[in-house]
Structure 1
Amino acid sequence: MLGEQIGTLSGEMTGIRVLSTGGGHAVTEASFQATGKLLGADIKDMGTYESALQADGSLFGEGQGISMTEDGQTITWHGTGVGRFNESGGVDWRGAVFYETTAADFIRLNGTAAVFEFDTEGSGKVRGAIYEWK
């Protein structure tokens, strides 16, 4: 069951590169930086993900990153999702994300599955929402 919203992000892409085009399947890597909230705390977030173009035009992606608070607490994350190109030339992503941390304020995220909506625009802007999956 979808639980409470635990986070929001907004920011921009910081880099994109093509990793391979073998066999007619393009694989790209994209990085982003964002600010937002996680469990009510202000965070800076950065991540990199690889996406592979599928035969039906959708994308399959996997990524990882780190969220940091102003007082130095860190939370790492790993995510997997599927994407569809949108009208702006960006991609709308939907998937799952898993966190790891020793930070006391975020320890409840360990062992928690979360789902995300992460949308990119052709201009490079990104925004996302994260929900606990119960």
Structure 2
Amino acid sequence: MLGDLIGEEQGQVTGQRVLAGEHGLPPTVETSFAATGTLLGVPVKDMGTYTARLRADGTLEGGGQGVLMSPTGAHATWKGQGVGTFTESGGNSFRGSIVYDSDSPEFAGLRGVAGVFEFEVDADGKTVGKLWAWK
């Protein structure tokens, strides 16, 4: 069951590169971003990198990882995986799952929790993400 909204962020793509496909697969695009927002009510800076590969049906398959930190030094790492589509305006839109790892007390609520996310990137590289607890 989809739970409460536990995180939101806004950011910017900071870099991209194309990586050669292996074993007959198409190339993948690697994208890095930086964002600010809140997670479990704690202000955070989030930095991550994900790769996306175009699938035969025109959708995107992606996965990534990152690290976030609060102003007090609380930190967490994350790994996510999802599927995406291209938007008519030239961006892309992803939906997927994410898990966190942290020993910081501020993020104790992430332990044992899987999250589901929406992540949007517009044609100018602006990002918006939302995260719900999956209970």
Q: For the superposition of Structure 1 and Structure 2, which TM-score range results when normalised by the shorter chain? A: over 0.9
Deviations 1:111-131 (A, max 9, x none): 210000000011010001000
Deviations 1:9-63 (A, max 9, x none): 1010000100014536121100000000000111000100111110011010010
Contact 2:46/2:68 (<8 A) preserved: yes
- Structure 2: which 5+ residue stretches go unaligned? none
Q: Name the residue aligned to 1:113.
A: 114
**What's the secondary structure of 2:133's corresponding residue?**
strand
**RMSD across aligned positions (CA):** 1.0
Alignment of 1:1-134 (within 5 A): 1-21=1-21, 23=24, 25-134=26-135
State the number of aligned residues.
Answer: 134
1:108 Cα shift?
2.0
Contact 2:40/2:109 (<8 A) preserved: no
- Structure 1: which 5+ residue stretches go unaligned? none
Instruction: Normalising by structure 2, report the TM-score.
Output: 0.96
Instruction: Normalising by structure 1, report the TM-score.
Output: 0.96
Aligned-partner residue type, residue 43 of structure 2: D
**What's the secondary structure of 1:28's corresponding residue?**
strand
Deviation above 2 Å: which 4+ runs of structure 1?
Answer: 21-24
